[in-house]
Structure 1
Amino acid sequence: MRIQVLGSGAGGGLPQFNCNCDNCRGYRDGKKSIKRRTQSSITISEDGENWVLLNTSPDILEQIHNSPFLHPTKKRETKIKAIIFNDAQIDHTTGLLMLREGCPHQIYCTKEVNEELNSSFPTMKMLKHWDGGGTVWHEILPDSTTKFEIPVMPSYEFYAHALISNAPPYSLYRDKPRRGDNIGITVVNKNTGKRLFYLPGLGVMEDHVFDEMRNADVLLIEGTLWTNDEMIKGEFSTKLGTDMGHIPLSGDEGLIKVLDTLEKPRKILIHINNTNPILDEESSEYKELISHGIEVSYDGMRIDI
């Protein structure tokens, strides 16, 4: 399986248009240790020709432009054959509207996410008037055991895992999320057993999530914030990371402590907020991550399993 990181940033990317944090300012000033980052999305393929997209960032058109393997080779075509949504967050779903010329799209998501995308943030409903009816919804069950398959990746099976995080800010279920509002996705090679576990948002570490992390060969996990109060201390927000559905990296309850206990997987962070000091590769925080054997993904990164 080939995995391509299309976007590695959290909502707003880096630089965020209205942000003057150290990282955004540093990038604008030309600091070479800080990379540009679009909002998080990955794509995976079995054959390098047909691709499954995991989340549609608002930056999807730029991401496709920067990814020649996604460029059409016929007069009109798309290499994106299916789309999986981990949640209904704006930074994971808005890009669907930018892909309207490629309708109908095969969409795989939970019924909770499908409900949001047809009501509170009706991107799928809006596309019903486009070619072929816009989208074809395939329900996935977030029970960790019910597999689903995608025709363009016949050697792979997929599993969805319910996560405790938060519903989108626009949602009626904000701060009271339902099971299925947030999921992690496991992709398993039927022949080799090799596993990718992708979870760009995680608010609480549960036993079933930890078990899946431990069994993965590649773990792509959120690295949104360095400290839980990062947004408060920087005067960018009044909310803790955990209020927004994100476990911080540092501290006694942070993800670094958890990742240190995992021996098998290659550990790679994604969905990293522009305020996070690890995005400056000269920072002590970045160097600390590397010393723990944890990688920081970047736009255009290729991973092979």
Structure 2
Amino acid sequence: MSGMETRRLQLLVELARLGSMRAVAESVNTTTSTVSQQLSVLAREMGATLIEPDGRRVRLTPAGRRLAEHAAVILAAVETARLDLAPGAEPNGTLRVAGFATAIRAHLLPLVTDLAASHPRLHVLVREHEPAEALELLAADATDLALTYDYNLAPAAPDPAVHATALWTAPWGLGVPACADVPDAADTPELFARFRTQDWIVNSRNTADETAIRTLASMAGFTPRITHQADSLDLVQGMITAGLGVGLLPIGTPVFPGVRLMPLTGPQVVQRAYAVARHGRLAWPPLTLITDLLARRSATTAPDSS
């Protein structure tokens, strides 16, 4: 309902309460003729006679009284919605979040547990998606918040339609077979060069790590043979243990007995996490609350894996 229609309903409610056009005009700081014109427009829109003469005054017809009752309920709902959505309002409702596994497991889920007690009227709907998938949902208005990542060697392209809040950063290393003969002090190009004949394992649902691998391999003077794809980091480690290849893994993640995690230095591979929302939604209290809480948590908590 447009602002003008809402105002016309307000005039009708005021007429039912005050009983005269002049009193209504004084209460809303306008003229009697304006009140009369707006009520006439409302009557035409509704296809019903809303007021009738009553001596030198007017009174509501039965249809007018009935519409005034509906109008009071409608206006109350509009005001409730305004207060609910206004910046600074108590967050409530359903916030839809699409994000990658680490962000959900290590950062979002602990907040959901706390919010159940502190904001019981706020409900978080969680969907696990890689960044490209989450951003597509955001563009289609199928989610309210996207938790995404990129790498310093494969930065995400800027999108003027969204606002990204930087969260945490996490260094990544190269997962290799535990039996591999690799010196601990090898820099990144030297380390990559030692596995130039190996197959490489990349994410099946995101191309950022493949871009980073190709960039570093190019610095080491070769083109990597990328063959295997896996979304689960546990599966990546299983593939490494089985001798299928090597792949990127986050530093600090618990490694399988058959895996050795080598730090990457000169250059590093750094994963960067973001909370992404569409412009125009940033002042919505649930979105503001969750984004702020994620940023605060990111400043004090290091992620364990991706």
**Common fold: TM-score over 0.5:** no
Shorter-chain TM-score: which interval? under 0.3
Bigger CA radius of gyration: 2
TM normalised by structure 2 equals 0.23
Is the helix fraction higher in 1 or 2?
2
